[in-house]
Structure 1
Amino acid sequence: MAEVLDLDAEVLHTYQADVTAWLADLSDGSPPRRILDLGSGTGTGTFALLERFPEAHATALDVSPQMLHRLRDGACARGLDERVHTVLADLDAPWPSLDPADLAWAASSLHHMADPDHILTEAFRTLRPGGLLAIAEMDFFPRFLSDHLGLGRPGLEARVHAALNEDHGGDLNPALLDAGFTLETKRPFVIDLQHPLPAATGRYAQACLRRLRAHLDGLMDGEDLATLDTLIDSDGPDGVLRRQDLTVRTTRTVWVAKRPQQRPSQ
């Protein structure tokens, strides 16, 4: 998972730059000084936000000590160690005491939580009045393959995703309002990368498809699985590491909500 997160940031760096620039526009000339990264993983969101907001400090919260260790190493490598604080925390449990934040960021993490309503309530409590919460969720897992693979299995990738029935979408508006937020805006970011692609695209496709493949036994026929294994593991021209016909297609939706200066009366 850590590899997927880091490769995602490397390949989709223009998406991250677009999102953080949009958040800067929404800050109304008052850039955040204290940022919370909720379910930070390896820190790709933390680093993108600190690059966009050079006066900010970030607190990264995650349940995995390994992820936080990797984040800390990444912060040191980027010269950001004095601007990053890591906190080992299960966000489904009561949160530790935190300083009020100007911006809370949750990227592809809310759908992993057992109780998203609890997360939103705690985020509301932790933000200062007027602070922003930004939630990014992928509408569907990235797609990489042409329908015409040249391996005799057209439509393979569509069948992979149909078998897993992955759906990370949903309407967060009611839950945000119930937590006390006012909805500022919601925006889809359509990602459609064509040739020439970032150098890490093949490794990104391999890591993503390998993660999906781990859940597919018994859900697809043997020929599809064998073809997928060839795509993932082959070092020849049919493998994703060497294919020249890859693309990267996905959509991510970002909600931005505000903690009002005074909580609306119930």
Structure 2
Amino acid sequence: MIDSVIIIEDLHVSYYGNEAVKGVSLSVERGKLVGIIGPNGAGKSTFLKSMLHLIPSDKGSIKILGKNMKEVRKKVAYVPQRSDIDWDFPITVLDAVLIGTYPLLRLFQRPKKKQREWALHCLERVGMKDFARRQIGELSGGQQQRVFLARALAQNAEIFFLDEPFVGVDVSSEETIVQILKELCRSGKTVIVVHHDLSKANDYFDQLILLNKELIGFGTVAEVFQPEVIGRAYSSQFNWLNEMGVSMP
């Protein structure tokens, strides 16, 4: 029996008065690392945010772990785009990660030694434990993204959503993040990633969601990376993809 942790039916979403997602239906199995790809303006981030109920949908159904998002929010972790975060906010790396433990605490309970040790463990997992006392604004882009992944890990969620996590990130941080995401999936977690670099999709993901406002393709990388499927999403950009060396499995 297939264990679908995300089920979406006929999803329509408008953004600033324009329909950004049209009639998307799909289901994602537990333990998969899934990339959301498509050209600029295809509605990738809008689609992800609608799944999280960060922006409202016009119509359609979204079930996460068989329930509405409000009922399972503690089991869902979200890493937003770096451009959506105020890096000037005066907070240390450790305190930023501790925020990830809040959903696991009782009302008005403050993090204690147990939570601090867990946060430090999550920082160690992403290679950032030595930076625990640094202000988050002092870090490089790759270091900041590792910290926000550590915050998501601290939540001990079942499903992880990441919006363009590799933008402005150094190669070492990107490799570390990908390795951790794959480890999460091997342990039964599910990971959804908005991604723009098609040349790495085959190495990173189990499945791809190809969007251009509507669902163009969904399946394994080999199934989606067919010339006729990619061509329907990128159309005029298709020749450019070939010139960039994006090969089809």
TM range (shorter): 0.3 to 0.5
* TM-score normalised to structure 1 length: 0.33
Of structures 1 and 2, the one scoring higher in RCO (CA 8 A, sep 6+) is 2
**Which has a greater percent of helix?**
2
* TM-score normalised to structure 2 length: 0.35
